[in-house]
Amino acid sequence: MPNHPHDRLASPAPLVLRGRRFDARHPAVMAIVNRTPDSFYAGNRHSDLDDALTALETAVSEGADIIDVGGVRAGGEGAWVSAEEETERVLPFLLEARRRYPDVVLSLDTWRSDVVLACADAEIDLVNDTWAGHDDDLASVAARIGAGIVCSHTGGLPPRTDPVAITYGDDDLDVVNDVVRGLAVEADRVRVAGVPDERILLDPTLDFGKTTRHSLTVLRHSDDVVALGLPVMQAISRKDFVGESLDLPADERLEGSLGATAVAAWLGVTVFRAHDVRATRRVLDMVASIRGDRPPARAVRGEAPDGVEATRLRHPRG
């Protein structure tokens, strides 16, 4: 008899933050709240605090597990934002989010250690460093305040640098090998800084330091990153590699994002940074049930009612 299909699936390591465990049985949706006026996706521009708090309430009600707030646009377009201005954008939101939702997992999207320290009173659970340890002090600051950290791969580019004429070699797998090696090095570095494995999250960082073909290749090899033995995040939602694959603008990339999400979840990724919380939550729960990690929320079709003996079926020619 062949092995059960589930035996061939990746068994991802858990992420544990604020006493909550995220794994194959319960993948996490990380909702994005951008406190910026220039996010690439117009549907997530929440520079007004009240608007951002409304987005927070909606995300929690739709099933978000982690709230990730950022005060600087990731790409190179738009004005430069100082650390002081970044703090002014994110700190009031974080403090109010913690007051309203004491148990929610809060993530701060920044590469600056001084911004993390300035926001420590909000009891941050995760530092989402999109720029691969550009600030040498970031990991030790995260460890000092008891937060986890996201290890990313950007091909060595500094913050807010868009990729131009990027290559990793002649073979399609060269980019995968670079991602795996780079994330392993980053993970070792943050371990030394004092962050435990259960709070280290690996992000292959699609689009950052990558062409669309690179991102597609890395995505379909997500299980190679999972094999490093640490929890893995994919930030897929409405990104350019989705848009270029389908030739669609950001506000029409939902279906493509969800298709990519399903593939990554099947391969063992357990945290998904997303603009569209409800749709992503449903996709992840469905994939977890297909994988066999999560039981159906309700399973009554074809079941024997109370007092009725079940009928064993067989193929009529078997």
Q: Is residue 154 part of a domain?
A: yes
Short-list 61, 56, 60, 63, CA closest to 33: 56
Q: Is residue 253 part of a domain?
A: yes
Short-list 85, 17, 10, CA closest to 287: 10
Which token pair is 281? 């939550």
Helices (H), the chain: 49-61, 83-100, 113-118, 138-144, 174-193, 212-220, 222-226, 240-246, 254-266, 277-291
CATH number, domain containing residue 56: 3.20.20.20
Give the whole-angstrom CA distance, residue 108 versus residue 127.
5
Give the whole-angstrom CA distance, residue 55 versus residue 45.
10
Q: Is residue 199 part of a domain?
A: yes
Give the whole-angstrom CA distance, residue 259 versus residue 178.
25
Q: Is residue 301 part of a domain?
A: no
Number of domains in the chain: 1
Q: Is residue 4 part of a domain?
A: no
Q: What pLDDT does 159 receive?
A: 92
Q: Is residue 300 part of a domain?
A: no
User: How is 82-121 classified by DSSP, letter by letter?
Assistant: -HHHHHHHHHHHHHHHHHH-TTSEEEEE-S-HHHHHHTGG
Short-list 201, 202, 205, 189, CA closest to 133: 189
Q: Is 5 helix (H, G, I), strand (E, B) or coil?
A: helix
The residue with tokens 């279906």 is: 255
Q: Is residue 311 part of a domain?
A: no
Per-residue pLDDT of the chain (318 residues; tens, 9 = 90+): 345 545 578 889 999 999 999 999 999 999 999 998 877 766 777 788 999 999 999 999 999 999 999 999 887 777 889 999 999 999 999 999 999 999 999 999 999 999 999 999 999 999 999 999 899 999 999 999 999 999 999 998 999 888 999 999 988 899 999 999 999 999 999 999 999 999 999 999 999 999 999 999 999 999 999 999 999 999 999 999 999 999 999 999 999 999 999 999 999 999 999 999 999 999 999 999 999 999 999 999 988 888 788 888 887 775
How far out from the chain centre does Cα 272 lie?
Answer: 3
Report the predicted TM-score, pTM, of the whole model to 2 decimal places: 0.93
Short-list 314, 288, 308, CA closest to 10: 288
Short-list 121, 115, 180, CA closest to 151: 180
Q: Is residue 111 part of a domain?
A: yes
Give the whole-angstrom CA distance, residue 154 versus residue 157.
6
Structural domain range at position 131:
22-291
Which token pair is 72? 């600087």
Q: What pLDDT does 42 receive?
A: 62
